[in-house]
Amino acid sequence: MILTVATPSFADQKPGTSGLRKKVRVFQQPHYAENFVQSVFDSLDGYEGQTLVVGGDGRYLNREVIQIVLKMAAANGFGRVLVGKGGILSTPAASHLIRLSGAFGGLILSASHNPGGPDEDFGIKYNIGNGGPAPEKVTDAIAARSLVIDSYKILDAGDVDIDTIGASKLGNMAVEVVDPVAAYADLMESLFDFAAIRAMIAGGFTLAFDSMSAVTGPYALEIFEKRLCAPAGTVMNGIPLPDFGHHHPDPNLVHARALYDRMMAPDAPDFGAASDGDGDRNLIIGRHSYVTPSDSLAVLAANAHLAPGYAAGLKGIARSMPTSGAADRVAEKLGIPLYETPTGWKFFGNLLDAGMATICGEESAGTGSDHVREKDGIWAVLLWLNILAMRKQSVAAIMADHWATYGRNYYARHDYEAIAKDKADALMAALRGKLGSLPGTTNSGGTVRSADDFAYTDPTDQSVSKNQGVRILFEDGSRVVFRLSGTGTEGATLRVYIERYVGPDGELALETGDALAPLISAAQEVADISGYTGMNRPSVIT
């Protein structure tokens, strides 16, 4: 029986950069999750009888919301749902499954790198038929619908067994529980030279991969330990846990500190990596050599031709505006386009679909290519391993060679978290108000050449996205960027991106903090961060 349930609307269901993210207890309110799912369905046309992909990162509430989605999909007329066994699907694996199955779209249940547990975060994101995040016209429609919705449809039925691979019926809808790992692992094997990587590992190369008790555990065990024959124990924290083992599954130098310390130890492995809650971000560390996400994007692009899947070369490189310009110099040398987009993988999706770019990346540890329409943590690790196997050099040697060729973009991101939203908005408003007066002025960072609020015109459809971040550019090519992030669930997060470029003949071995010290002071002087936020130091530096 299909039930039509009367419901009040909620005023806080506007999706952010990566869907709707709230505290678990918000999603546990009566009707809350159902309202958002129905708002998604009500904003779509033509899905009757079509296939929907559903899965998540295994965080707290994942299994319960999957059952809601299954019953609502059946009530709303979907013909088939593919769900990962146990409710598990990494975000890149979900993107691949949508594309592979010809699905209409998918619902990914995750709050990405945010912590999990009954007092932590949950999220729902809708991805369209190309496997990528819904574009703004869809998320705007979802937000508008959520404000006026007054009922939702749900099947009055028992829960579906999602722990056994196979097919069943839910009302008139087919439910197929699928292996969440196999198709994705097969895709990775088609892109990279697994034989060369296996030989490198057999020859004594050592690696460590931290799954952070999050979704990539099963994928990493299958790929690194089974298919690539790395020793048992190579994958750490490989079992997905609802609370991520009480850890914060964000692969940065704060939350993946144990891996960092191991890689800096005298007996460190040759290569270390980690991924985040839903598997779309990565951390790369060589022995005694941390690689920034911006540098990683540039190195991957410069060496991608060494992997079979990219042997024909790249069509273009795309990076988010806050990401350093390191990849720009690679694109220039390769003679291919470089696209600077707003933050959000959906902007890359248009370029990938149009065949204008092959590799994309964000400074927030997300890199990927045209194999799916999401960033992909394990993909980045495998491309690094493929490069190491072919070049037969250490990570440190590859980085030194890269900087000697292209120069070095010293780069850091300072995050000021959980700021009162009114104060964060006031800071950004004040910055925008002084943009016209900043050029020609001098501060600790030097003389300001220009200042603007980044706007992007999508070359594929000419759509315009404004107010994407305030940029302060200096005469020597350095810059400071200010942007409010939409990935948190409490207050606002101010991200400050600081970058200084040094050419191949300059000082390439400075400590990042020393190289950026004048620009860090300039950011404080221009924005009065401590005055608006009450914070004298960032919450996190990456």
Catalytic residues: 112
Phi, psi of 432 (to 5 degrees): -65, -30
Question: How many angstroms separate the first and last alpha carbons of the chain?
Answer: 52
* 271, containing H or E segment: strand 271-275
140 contacts 43 by C-beta, under 8 angstroms: no
Q: How far apart are CA 225 and CA 234, in angstroms?
A: 7
Q: How far apart are CA 417 and CA 453, in angstroms?
A: 22
Which residues make beta-bridge pairs with 285? Answer: 272, 290
Q: How far apart are CA 128 and CA 105, in angstroms?
A: 4
Length of the chain: 542
Which residues make beta-bridge pairs with 164? Answer: none
With CA atoms as reference, report the closest residue to 125 among 65, 212, 188.
Answer: 65
For tokens 């994101």, what's the residue? Answer: 125
CA atoms 519, 523, 525, 529: torsion sign: negative
For tokens 């010293």, what's the residue? Answer: 410
Token pair in block for residue 11: 């005023």
CA–chain centroid gap for 302, Å, is: 21
* 273, containing H or E segment: strand 271-275
Q: How far apart are CA 177 and CA 165, in angstroms?
A: 5
Please count the other Cβ atoms lying within 10 Å of the Cβ belonging to residue 90.
35
Please count the other Cβ atoms lying within 10 Å of the Cβ belonging to residue 174.
16
Token pair in block for residue 378: 């394990």
Which residues make beta-bridge pairs with 457? Answer: 464
With CA atoms as reference, report the closest residue to 486 among 412, 409, 428.
Answer: 428
* 326, containing H or E segment: helix 326-334
Parallel, antiparallel or unpaired: strands 366-369 and 359-362:
antiparallel
